[in-house]
Amino acid sequence: MSGTQRARTVTIDCGKCLLRRHGSPAPELQSALAPVRQSRIGSRVVPPGTDICIEGEPSTEVFTLVDGWAFRYKLLHDGRRQILGFCLPGDFFGLGSEGEEGHDHSIESITGTVLCVFGKRQFRAAMHSDPALAGLVRRIVRHEESAAFEHLVDVGRRNAIEAVAHLLLELCSRLNGGRIPANCSCRFPVTQTHLADALGLTAAHVNRVLRRLRQDGLASVDKRSLIIHDAGRLAELCEFSRDYTARLPAI
Amino acid sequence: MSGTQRARTVTIDCGKCLLRRHGSPAPELQSALAPVRQSRIGSRVVPPGTDICIEGEPSTEVFTLVDGWAFRYKLLHDGRRQILGFCLPGDFFGLGSEGEEGHDHSIESITGTVLCVFGKRQFRAAMHSDPALAGLVRRIVRHEESAAFEHLVDVGRRNAIEAVAHLLLELCSRLNGGRIPANCSCRFPVTQTHLADALGLTAAHVNRVLRRLRQDGLASVDKRSLIIHDAGRLAELCEFSRDYTARLPAI
DNA sequence: CGCTAGGTTGATCCTATTCAACCCGGGTGG
DNA sequence: CCACCCGGGTTGAATAGGATCAACCTAGCG
């Protein structure tokens, strides 16, 4: 599904990084800032629908998503796709397992995205020399695992309405740094097909579920935007707990 | 589901640790051995069906599973259970997210198990002072995430036969250090209910699927043992790739 | 001996799939 | 300017995969 346009790599001043407006300059990371920046290659602008990482292929780079949406996924031979999770600004990925050959999953951009690109070798060296950085990365990976576990409950033990509700709340919460504002409305470039592939459903059925949520006045997704009308009832419906959606310091 | 017996904590010589027979004394960990052992509290023997970690509850300990089987899980209010993964000897758990209050999931023993118990605070200190140990833990968590992703495909995009086949192969491979021996037969204390809760199915349906696998000469589970009769056809059926089942050095 | 956990099987039901048709809006090229 | 296409969404009808529920069986255990 690679786009036709080419990705461009440019250099942007770290001081102007969009992520800093999130007010998370990772205080305990001051010591590591220098080596991390030294491992930095530059920024990259990626068109929508482009594979940023490809399962099985090795890579010499790791990324922070600065702007835009992407998702992690795996494919089966016959084309079935499982979306493993969505990547939002501030997310870090591409590190893989040390000593492993290739990525264990692919990552594709949904919107046009801006990436901050680091050299993997240099980044690993920075982690090795700075325990705080190493600790943050470990925390990030642990956080991803926690989200994967929650996702597993969605797919395995929640029915379609609960699962969709839960995923919508998760995304809304993550977009807002771990809270769900009253009457939240956010940009939402995720298609019904994406939701289906994330939750082990079909797009047709996701459509029916969304209509249901809309009719019940709980949430509505259209025109590429998501509105949570009644976060309370929605959270009750699917037993949502926002603990796992807290924002971690960006790298 | 706590057993009636009490867990006992005893002291056992590290030199006699069962895990060392796996021939994985973690060469790069030599530097960390001293602080890790210093953070060690002792061994603990746990009866079957006991919660080792409980979701939401904080804990001051982390564990290496020395002997026996356990599983990670989450419960919904109405009793629905999602098993997140199985723990085998050598697995490490309980570290949780730094700065987080409680565990994000529970862990219950299946068989009687032997745990190696470490003080969480001291273990964290050891990680902080030894980059190799920190790196290993990061690798372990990354490895768990990779397994969770594979699990997500099982539940979301594989049908019941494929999912069961895939899980059986995964467990067989992990039990054998990342390979599947020809005509493999292993001890298998996992019940059909466990398989069902791991794969988002019902026990009744798992039963039918297992019968099917048995009739087709692919694999059989009974009498608490698993036999893989035709690993090749089984792997083909479910697109199993054993990459993610490699054994990491034990802590 | 009776209890319990685990397994087995059948009948029935229902959730979600499948497949098809159709709509809409935004590009794109003639 | 219009025709066409294409991605995404919407809807209906038929179907299937798996759930549900209940009965029953077996082995191990107190």
Walk across the sheet containing A219-222 and list its strands: A185-187, A225-228, A219-222
Distance B228 CA to C6 C1' (A): 22
Measured distance CA(A228)–CA(A238) in Å, rounded: 14
**Residues paired with A249 in a beta bridge:** none
- Whether residues B108 and B27 share a domain: the answer is yes
Tell me the one-letter amino acid at B92. F
**Which residues on chain A are in Cβ contact (under 8 Å) with B139?**
97-99
In the block, residue with structure tokens 């993610």? B244
**Which residues on chain B are in Cβ contact (under 8 Å) with A81?**
157
Distance A23 CA to C19 C1' (A): 50
- Whether residues B126 and B163 share a domain: the answer is no
List protein-proximal bases of chain D (any atom < 7 A from a CB).
7-13, 17-22
**Which residues on chain B are in Cβ contact (under 8 Å) with A243?**
100, 104
Of B8-22, B63-77, B187-201, minimum mean pLDDT range: B8-22
What pLDDT does B24 receive? 55
Helix (H, G, I), strand (E, B) or coil at B118: strand
- Whether residues A16 and A118 share a domain: the answer is yes
Hey, are the CB atoms on B82 and A148 less than 8 Å from each other? no
Is residue B1 situated within a structural domain? no
Q: What angle do CA A44, A48, A50 make, to 5 degrees?
A: 70
**Residues paired with A108 in a beta bridge:** A51, A71
**Residues paired with A9 in a beta bridge:** A44
Rg from Cα positions in chain B: 18
**Which residues on chain B are in Cβ contact (under 8 Å) with A245?**
none
Measured distance CA(A116)–CA(A63) in Å, rounded: 6
**HEC secondary structure over chain A:** CCCCCCCEEECCCHHHCHHHHHCCCCHHHHHHHHHHHHCEEEEEEECCCCEEECECCCCCEEEEEEECCEEEEEECCCCCEEEEEEECCCCEECCCCCCCCCECCEEEECCCEEEEEEEHHHHHHHHHHCHHHHHHHHHHHHHHHHHHHHHHHHHHHCCHHHHHHHHHHHHHHHHCCCCCCCCCEEECCCCHHHHHHHHCCCHHHHHHHHHHHHHCCCEEEECCEEEECCHHHHHHHHCCCHHHHCCCCCC
Hey, are the CB atoms on B81 and A244 less than 8 Å from each other? no
Total tally of structural domains belonging to chain A: 2
Measured distance CA(A61)–CA(A53) in Å, rounded: 10
Of A183-187, B27-31, B168-172, B214-218, minimum mean pLDDT range: B27-31
Taking CA atoms, B124 is separated from A28, A130, B60, B128, in Å, by 16, 15, 11, 6
Of A220-224, B115-119, B152-156, minimum mean pLDDT range: A220-224
pLDDT (mean) for A162-185: 95
Taking CA atoms, A62 is separated from A118, A121, B145, in Å, by 5, 9, 17
How many Å separate Cα A232 from the centre of its chain? 24
More confident residue, B35 or B236: B236
- Whether residues B107 and B19 share a domain: the answer is yes
Measured distance CA(B143)–CA(B27) in Å, rounded: 19
Confidence grade of residue B37 (pLDDT, cut at 50, 70, 90): confident
Distance B77 CA to D5 C1' (A): 49
Q: Which CATH number do you get for residue A66?
A: 2.60.120.10
Distance B212 CA to C25 C1' (A): 49
Of B104, B198, B200, the CB nearest to A244: B104
Among A149, A154, A164, A206, most B C-beta atoms within 10 A, so best to mutate, is A149
CA distance A112 to chain B (A): 25
pLDDT (mean) for B70-93: 97
pTM: 0.94
In the block, residue with structure tokens 């054998």? B176
**Residues shown for chain B:** 251
**Which residues on chain A are in Cβ contact (under 8 Å) with B134?**
127, 131, 134-135, 138
Contact call for residues B246 and B173 (beta carbons, < 8 A): no
- Of B80, B100, B135, the residue that ends a domain is B135
Distance B249 CA to D27 C1' (A): 39
- Whether residues A230 and A165 share a domain: the answer is yes
What are A94-147's pLDDT values in tens digits?
Answer: 998 777 779 999 999 999 999 999 999 999 999 999 999 999 999 999 999 999
Of B177, B188, B180, B154, the residue nearest B233 (C-alpha): B180
CA distance B113 to chain A (A): 24
Confidence grade of residue A187 (pLDDT, cut at 50, 70, 90): very high
Q: Which domain holds residue B199?
A: 158-245
Closest-approach residue (CA) in chain A for B155: A156
- Which nucleotide does the CA of B200 lie closest to, via C1'? D18
Measured distance CA(B69)–CA(B51) in Å, rounded: 12
Task: Return the percentage of chain A with pLDDT > 90, whole number.
Answer: 79
Measured distance CA(B94)–CA(B117) in Å, rounded: 10
What pLDDT does B3 receive? 40
Measured distance CA(A15)–CA(A18) in Å, rounded: 9
Contact call for residues A95 and A156 (beta carbons, < 8 A): no
Structure tokens at B241: 């790739």
- Of B135, B170, B203, the residue that ends a domain is B135
- Of B135, B150, B169, the residue that ends a domain is B135
Measured distance CA(B139)–CA(B118) in Å, rounded: 19
- Whether residues A101 and A199 share a domain: the answer is no
- Which nucleotide does the CA of A189 lie closest to, via C1'? D8
- Whether residues A77 and A46 share a domain: the answer is yes
Contact call for residues B89 and B247 (beta carbons, < 8 A): no
- Whether residues B201 and B241 share a domain: the answer is yes
User: What is the DSSP code (8-state) at residue B28?
Assistant: G
**HEC secondary structure over A103-164:** ECCEEEECCCEEEEEEEHHHHHHHHHHCHHHHHHHHHHHHHHHHHHHHHHHHHHHCCHHHHH
| Protein residues with Cβ atoms closer than 7 angstroms to any atom of nucleic acid strand D | A 191-193, 203-204, 207-208, 210-211, 222; B 159-161, 200-202, 204-205
Is residue B150 situated within a structural domain? no
Is residue A151 situated within a structural domain? no
Measured distance CA(B165)–CA(B148) in Å, rounded: 16
Is residue A250 situated within a structural domain? no
- Whether residues B128 and B184 share a domain: the answer is no
Is residue A143 situated within a structural domain? no
Contact call for residues B104 and B97 (beta carbons, < 8 A): yes
Is residue B144 situated within a structural domain? no
Contact call for residues A22 and A2 (beta carbons, < 8 A): no
Size of interface A-B (CB pairs under 8 A): 132
